[in-house]
Structure 1
Amino acid sequence: MKGFVDNIEQLTEDNNDFRRVLYTGHNLQLVLMAIQPGDEIGEEVHDDRDQFFRIEGGTGEIWIDGVCNTVKADDGIIVPQGARHNVISTGSEPLRLYTIYGPPEHIDGTVHATCAAAASAHEHFDGKTTE
């Protein structure tokens, strides 16, 4: 099958990996994340890509250029290219979300089980798509 079709809400709620790349196209990439309580993605800037976040469970903060936004299930967030941002899990349950990068950020099929594993990896999109 071409493309990606599945129940994204269920996949996101069932995901326990810090980062799991589900699908990589030429211009977009779909990634699941489960950020454990007290963990964060770490402050970053994507100079060449936009990023969309959809929160499916838990509570947290998304900082965009120094502004704190409290987030919860059903919230959607867009971080434009060049914006300094961070995502922090502040609740007692993991912050479960999916994110869409445009263009892709990670190597297709990447799975980082923990925040520490992601921090030690230095992979970036290599141009290879899912299909």
Structure 2
Amino acid sequence: GQEIGEEVHDDRDQFFRIEAGEGEIWIDGVRHPVKADDGVIVPQGARHNVVSTGSQPLRLYTLYGPPEHLDGTVHATVEEASADHEHFDGHTTE
């Protein structure tokens, strides 16, 4: 039943890859059921949210284009992500 929380990124696209569990990704008010092995692209400017709906934890990773977070950032929980206010600093490890 946890969710990431509704948000909009006006300057970047976002990709979600579902690794385990079941949930919903809402994009501009439209519900998209998701499960393990699904991928979803949210275009810049779209209001979106991710909600866990299954009996097992929803595990996912997300990529931003351009980057949103510092290289190597991992948030194990929604609470951890909400408490972290870092942003990409323009430096990569490449």
TM-score by length of 2: 0.89
**TM-aligned CA distance change 1:112 to 1:99, over 3 Å:** closer
Counterpart of 1:33? none
SS in 2 for 1:44: coil
- Residue 43 of structure 1 corresponds to which residue in structure 2? 6
| Secondary structure in 1 matching 2:51 | strand
Secondary structure of residue in 2 paired with 1:45: coil
SS in 1 for 2:82: helix
Query: Which contiguous aligned blocks of 4+ residues in structure 1 show a shift greater than 6 angstroms?
Result: none
Displacement of 1:124: 1.2
Could you tell me the TM-score, scaled by structure 1's length?
A: 0.66
Q: What does the per-residue CA deviation read over 1:20-73, in whole Å, with 9 as the maximum and x for residues that have no partner? A: xxxxxxxxxxxxxxxxxx221111111111111222211001000011111112
Counterpart of 2:79?
116
* Identical pairs, percent: 81
What is the root-mean-square deviation in Å for CA atoms of aligned residues?
A: 1.3
- The runs of 5 or more residues in structure 2 that have no matched partner are none
1:61 maps onto 2:24 in alignment: yes
Distance 2:35 2:44 in 1: 23
Partner of 2:59 in structure 1?
A: 96
